């Protein structure tokens, strides 16, 4: 068993090797890289990404990143390609083949077939004197000096370089397509990430009650209304307009200040400047307003009309936080 110090040193050495490998890709961002971006943007088809072994796993990740950022892509396993999956490639598709050596038996068989199909073949490879390189129309050079593996065998640094090159392609394509947050939300409607980009304040308010009370309501009625709706506050409505808000904090402060509660009305307790948000604003903005103002509730408005209330707990429940 290695010592704690030795384990830490090995981990740090791995980070250094892999980070250096990524930085060493910079000289390979050349005319071929630009041509790849231009070809994908001009294509009326999809990007077919293929590989074998660890390169196949990286290829699947690149496909996922492309699809989520506006570039249609499909994964094709190199071993399955020669057993029927070549049929998934259409006339206008662009093909990217990942391989460290460019000379594995499957790639040596597949590369000429891809070339004969007439599709643009892009080789993302670690050896530019390989079979894949000779068949490729464009080359993305992801060569590395050595693997992080002490035996220089297990794909580690090389797959990190492939992953980084795939990310660089995806981000360049994203920017070229002017892919924005609204587009991102359309492709990521599920989970907290999507909600941060599309969920509106009005959507949350609709799930809650609309606690309200008149200016002349008694303290007892105020407390009942706050407790009943479990939002920690009630809105004071005067002539169909928002006059103010009373929170459970206001109630506590009142109890500290007064002993005779008989003549106290809602109008005496309310804050006349409640924080508000339009119903079409994103829930993410509601969170920012709550944090900036150190409050727990926001009134949701449709112009001058009171639509409901958002509580900090609603944002927690929705995964916005």
> Binding site annotation covers 311?
no
Single out the residue of 103, 69, 305, 43 nearest to residue 187, CA to CA: 69
Helix (H/G/I), strand (E/B), else coil: 74: strand
Q: Which residue has the tokens 């949701």?
A: 300
Pairwise CA distance, residues 290 & 283, whole Å: 11
Which two structure tokens, joined as six digits, stand for 305? 């009309």
Q: Which residue has the tokens 């993305």?
A: 140
DSSP 273: S
Edge-to-edge order in the sheet of strand 276-278: 276-278, 297-302, 305-311
Residues whose CB is less than 8 angstroms from the CB of residue 180 and which lie 6 or more positions away in sequence, other chains included: none
For 248, half-sphere exposure in the C-beta direction (CA atoms, 13 angstrom radius) is 13
Pairing status of strand 94-99 against strand 138-141: unpaired
Pairwise CA distance, residues 86 & 102, whole Å: 19
Binding residue numbers: 77
Binding residue numbers for Zn(2+): 77
């Amino acid at each position: 068993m290695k010592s704690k110090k030795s384990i830490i040193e090995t981990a740090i050495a791995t980070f250094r090797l892999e980070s250096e490998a990524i930085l060493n890709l910079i000289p390979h961002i050349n005319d071929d890289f630009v041509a790849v971006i231009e070809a994908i943007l001009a294509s009326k088809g999809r990007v077919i990404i293929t590989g074998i072994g660890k390169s196949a796993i990286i290829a699947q990740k690149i496909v996922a990143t492309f699809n989520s950022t506006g570039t249609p892509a499909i994964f094709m396993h190199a071993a399955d390609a020669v057993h029927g999956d070549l049929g998934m490639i259409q006339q206008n598709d662009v093909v990217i083949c990942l391989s460290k050596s460019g000379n594995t038996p499957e790639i040596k068989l597949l590369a000429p077939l891809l070339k004969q199909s007439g599709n643009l073949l892009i080789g993302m490879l670690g050896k530019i004197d390989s079979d894949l390189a000779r068949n490729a129309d464009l080359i993305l050079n992801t060569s590395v000096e050595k693997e992080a593996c002490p035996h220089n065998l297990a794909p580690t640094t090389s797959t990190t370089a492939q992953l980084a090159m795939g990310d660089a392609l995806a981000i360049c394509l994203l920017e070229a397509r002017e892919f924005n947050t609204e587009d991102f939300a359309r492709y990521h409607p599920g989970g907290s990430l999507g909600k941060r980009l599309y969920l509106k304040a009005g959507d949350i308010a609709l799930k809650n009650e609309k606690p309200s009370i008149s200016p002349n309501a008694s303290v007892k009625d105020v407390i009942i209304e706050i407790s009943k709706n479990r939002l920690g506050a009630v809105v004071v409505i005067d002539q169909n307009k928002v006059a103010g808000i009373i929170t459970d904090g206001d109630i506590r402060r009142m109890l500290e200040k007064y002993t005779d509660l008989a003549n106290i009305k809602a109008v005496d307790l309310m804050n006349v400047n409640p924080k508000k948000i339009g119903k079409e604003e994103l829930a993410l903005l509601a969170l920012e307003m709550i944090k900036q103002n150190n409050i727990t509730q926001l009134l949701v408005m449709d112009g001058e009309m009171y639509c409901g209330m958002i509580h900090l707990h609603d944002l927690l429940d929705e995964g916005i936080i």
